[in-house]
C-alpha cells in the first residue's frame, strides 16, 4: 500500500495557550513543528494567532505574523510543506486572501460549503451563540482563484456529506479550472457537533462519492474515541492528520504533552495498517508539489 502522508494540525483557533500545549509564537510553532516532523509529519497545518501578551488565543490575519511563523517553521523543518488555514465567517475574508498571497503556502484549506456551527452544553444551553459558517460558491471561487495565482494546492474542508458532494460540482463547473481531479484533495472533518460524526462506517460510505483519483484525509475531533477511526483511515489508504487543533488525548485516554506525541501515535497506526510513513520529499512528489 502507498506510503502514508502525515499532517500535524499544529494549533487551531481560539484554544487557550495558557491551558493547553498550543504553540503561538514563531519560536513555539517552529519547535512544535520540529517535534512533529521528527515523528513523521510531512505537512504542518497552521493557524496564526495574535502575538501580543494575553492575546494568543485570538486569530490573526496579519500577513507579517503569518510570514514570521511560516519562515520559522521552514527554517526548523527543511522541506516541510505548509498547509495554511483560511476559514473565516462573514463577508469580509480579505485577511485570509492577503495571507495566502503574502506567504504562498504549499497547501491551503478551502472550506467547501456552509454549516450551522452549533454545540450544546450538558444542560442543553448553547456553548456559544449559534452561528453560520458561511462559504458560498462565490467565496470559494475567490479562494480558488488566489490559490491558483500562488501555486497553492486547495484542500477542500468538508464538514457534512452535502459538502463532500459539492466538491465534484465545483470541478465539473470549472471552478478548479486547470486543477485536475488527480490533485483535488479532501479533508473529511468529523466530530463537529452539527457536522459529520466520528464514524468509520460513514467514512467508508463517503469514499465512492469523491472525485476519482482525489486524495483525502479525515480530521477527527474528539478524545480517545477518534483513534479507531484513524486506524480505519490508515487501512483505507487515506492521508492521516492529527494535532492539538483536533485532540488533546492519546489513544490510551491520557492527555498529550505535545504535537510530537500525537504524531508518534498516528505514525504507529499507519504502520499497523502496513504502511510506511512518507518523508517530506516523498510526500511532495506524491502530491505534485514542487520544493520551495
Q: What is the pLDDT of residues 72-130, one digit of tens each?
A: 999 999 999 999 999 999 999 999 999 999 999 999 999 999 999 999 999 999 999 99
Q: What integer is the mean pLDDT of 281-285?
A: 96
pLDDT at position 129? 95
Q: What is the pLDDT of residues 14-71, one digit of tens each?
A: 888 888 899 999 999 999 999 999 999 999 999 999 999 999 999 999 999 999 999 9
pLDDT at position 18? 87
- pTM (2 decimals)? 0.96
Contact 115, 192 (CB under 8 A): yes
Task: Report the C-alpha gap between 6 and 29 in whole angstroms.
Answer: 17
Task: Report the C-alpha gap between 276 and 289 in whole angstroms.
Answer: 20
- In CATH terms, 6-287 corresponds, of 3.40.50.300, 3.40.920.10, 3.20.20.70, 3.10.20.440, to 3.20.20.70
Element containing residue 171 per DSSP (H, E): helix 161-173
Kindly state the percentage of the chain with pLDDT values over 90: 91
Q: What is the pLDDT of residues 162-215, one digit of tens each?
A: 999 999 999 999 998 665 545 689 999 999 999 999 999 999 999 999 999 899
Q: What integer is the mean pLDDT of 243-247?
A: 97
Amino acid at each position: 500500500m502507498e506510503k502514508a502522508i502525515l499532517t500535524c494540525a499544529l494549533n487551531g483557533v481560539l484554544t487557550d495557550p495558557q491551558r493547553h500545549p498550543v504553540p503561538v509564537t514563531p519560536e513555539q510553532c517552529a519547535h512544535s513543528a520540529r517535534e512533529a516532523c521528527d515523528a513523521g509529519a510531512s505537512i504542518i497545518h497552521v493557524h496564526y494567532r495574535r502575538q501580543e501578551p494575553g492575546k494568543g488565543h485570538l486569530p490573526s490575519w496579519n500577513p507579517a505574523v503569518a510570514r514570521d511563523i511560516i519562515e520559522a517553521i521552514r527554517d526548523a523543518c527543511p522541506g516541510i510543506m505548509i498547509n495554511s488555514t483560511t476559514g473565516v465567517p462573514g463577508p469580509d475574508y480579505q485577511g485570509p486572501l492577503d495571507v495566502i498571497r503574502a506567504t504562498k503556502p504549499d497547501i491551503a484549506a478551502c472550506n467547501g460549503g456552509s454549516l450551522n456551527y452549533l454545540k450544546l452544553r450538558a444542560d442543553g444551553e448553547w456553548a456559544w451563540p449559534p452561528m453560520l459558517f458561511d462559504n458560498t460558491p462565490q467565496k470559494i471561487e475567490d479562494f480558488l482563484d488566489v490559490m491558483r495565482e500562488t501555486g497553492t494546492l486547495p484542500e477542500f474542508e468538508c464538514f457534512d456529506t452535502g459538502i463532500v458532494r459539492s466538491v465534484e460540482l465545483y470541478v465539473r463547473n470549472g471552478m478548479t479550472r486547470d486543477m485536475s481531479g488527480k490533485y483535488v484533495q479532501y479533508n473529511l472533518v468529523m466530530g463537529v457537533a452539527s457536522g459529520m460524526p466520528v464514524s468509520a462506517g460513514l467514512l467508508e460510505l463517503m469514499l465512492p462519492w469523491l472525485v476519482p483519483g482525489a486524495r483525502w484525509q479525515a480530521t477527527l475531533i474528539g478524545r480517545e474515541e477518534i483513534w479507531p477511526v484513524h486506524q480505519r483511515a490508515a487501512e483505507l489508504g487515506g492521508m492521516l492528520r492529527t494535532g492539538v487543533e483536533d485532540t488533546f488525548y492519546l489513544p490510551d485516554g491520557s492527555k498529550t504533552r505535545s504535537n510530537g506525541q500525537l504524531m508518534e501515535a498516528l505514525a504507529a497506526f499507519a504502520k499497523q495498517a502496513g504502511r510506511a510513513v512518507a518523508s517530506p520529499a516523498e510526500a511532495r512528489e506524491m502530491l505534485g508539489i514542487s520544493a520551495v
